[in-house]
Structure 1
Amino acid sequence: MSEKSVPTPERDLAGHNRISTQALTSVAKAAAAEVLAAPAAQVRVSWNDDDGLLALSISSAMGALPLSTVGRDAVRLAAAGGSVLSRATAAKASILKQVEHLSGSSLSRVDVRISGLLLREDGRVS
């Protein structure tokens, strides 16, 4: 009877896993585009060293309701996540969580700069 090789925890952990900057950038762009309701092509990502951890900086447009819509129906603004500032603030935590989950990397922080608004009547702004 032949013995089968059973993987041990030590064998499973051998070696290195590295994620390239390009792959991390793609993950961050996709996460930011989804959270900010903007095309990934309009998302700019940069990385900085923050005392040994990764700090993510994002500059992007963000989907938003037209002022005429908000003026007629303020309830839609609340349903869409609130003001531009409150949505950008909430986006930081959401993007950080998604990037860490998908990449396995630890981020120290996410900085978000809203570079423009994409007016959307369809209500998809969050």
Structure 2
Amino acid sequence: MSAPAPAVRAQALNGHTRISTQALTSLAKAAAAQALGVDGEDVRADWTDDDGLLALSLVTPISVPPLRTVASHPGRVAASGGSIWDRTVSAKAHILATVTELSGARLSRVDIRISGVRISEGGRVH
């Protein structure tokens, strides 16, 4: 007969845990790319101090359906999340939540500047 396994208690360890700026930047770029339907290498991310919190600034394109598709299927804009403005506002909240949840970093805000569009020929626009 075997004895039950001893309970393992998580305990805080002394020391520091830090996430590098490079790791935070990679995470922010991936979150933005996912939210806006573009490649991560097309996203530029910069960090600034905002009274002790991190402020994230992004410069990125956004994916959009071809104009001929929008002209022939006007409902596609609403189905894809709305206008570029609406999708960008929604992306801010998504990016802030994703970066905060995965890194534990406290962000004060996410600023996004759309630098262009990427035409999404097939599938859904993110």
Code of the aligned partner of 2:39: P
Q: What TM-score, normalized by structure 2, do the two folds share?
A: 0.89
- Residue correspondence of structure 1 range 81-120 to structure 2 within 5 A: 81-120=81-120
Deviation track 1:41-74 (CA, whole Å, cap 9, x = no partner) reads 1000000111110000000011101122111111
Residue of structure 2 equivalent to 1:43: 43
Matches within 5 A, 1:1-126: 7=9, 9=11, 12-126=12-126
Q: Which runs of 5+ in 1 are unaligned?
A: none
**DSSP-derived class of the 1:117 partner:** strand
Q: What is the rounded CA distance, in whole Å, between the counterparts of 1:97 and 1:58 in structure 2?
A: 15
Q: Over residues 2-61 of structure 1, what are the superposed CA-to-partner deviations in whole Å (9 max), with x where a residue is unaligned? A: xx8x6563xx24221100100100100111111111111100000011111000000001
Matches of 1:54 and 1:97, distance apart in 2: 13
2:3 alignment counterpart: none
Aligned-partner Cα distance in 1 for 2:58–2:10: 41
User: TM-score normalised to the size of structure 1?
Assistant: 0.89
**Which range moved further: 98-107 or 13-22?**
13-22
Q: CA deviation at 1:121?
A: 2.1
Which protein has the bigger helix share? 1
Structure 2's unaligned 5+ residue stretches are: 1-5
SS of 2:112's equivalent in the other structure is strand
Distance 2:78 2:123 in 1: 11
1:28·1:95 contact (CA, 8 Å) conserved in 2? Answer: yes
Identity of aligned residues (%): 54
Report the CA distance shift for 1:82/1:30 in structure 2 as closer, same or farther (over 3 A): same
Large movers: runs of 4+ above 6 Å: none
How big is the alpha-carbon RMSD for the aligned residues of Structure 1 and Structure 2? 1.5
The SS at the match of 1:125 is coil
